[in-house]
Amino acid sequence: MTDANEIEALKASLRGVRRSADTLSVVLGDRVEALDPRTEIPDTDLDDLQRLSSAHAVAAQAFRGLVQTILRRRGRLQEPAADAGSAGVEE
C-alpha cells in the first residue's frame, strides 16, 4: 500500500539535495575551476566550501535515511546484527 506522505517526503528531500548541489555548482563552480594550483585557496572560498558542502552532505544523508526507512518498512533492508557480547563496554 502506498503512503502519500512518504512519497511527498521523498520528493521534498530530493528537491533539497538538488538545490544544495545546484548551489554548490553555481556559487563555487567557477571559483574552484579558476583556482591557481600554485597559490593558497582564499579563506573566503574555504569558508564557502565548508558551509555549502556541509549543507549538501546533510541533505544527501537525509535523503539516504528516508530511502533506507522506506526499504526497512518494506522488509528489503535488514538492520545489521549487533554483537550482544560486551556492547563495546570495557571493564
CB atoms within 10 A of CB 59: 20
Domain assignments of the chain as residue spans, ordered by start: 9-73
Cα–Cα distance, 69 to 36 (Å, whole number):
43
The answer on pLDDT for 85 being more than 70 is no
For residue 42, give the DSSP letter: P
CA distances from 35 to 47, 50, 59, 76 (A): 15, 16, 27, 45
What pLDDT digit, counting tens, does each position of 20-42 carry? Answer: 999 999 999 999 999 999 999 99
pLDDT band for position 4 (cuts 50, 70, 90): confident
Residue 39 confidence (pLDDT): 96
User: Model-level pTM?
Assistant: 0.75
The answer on pLDDT for 64 being more than 90 is yes
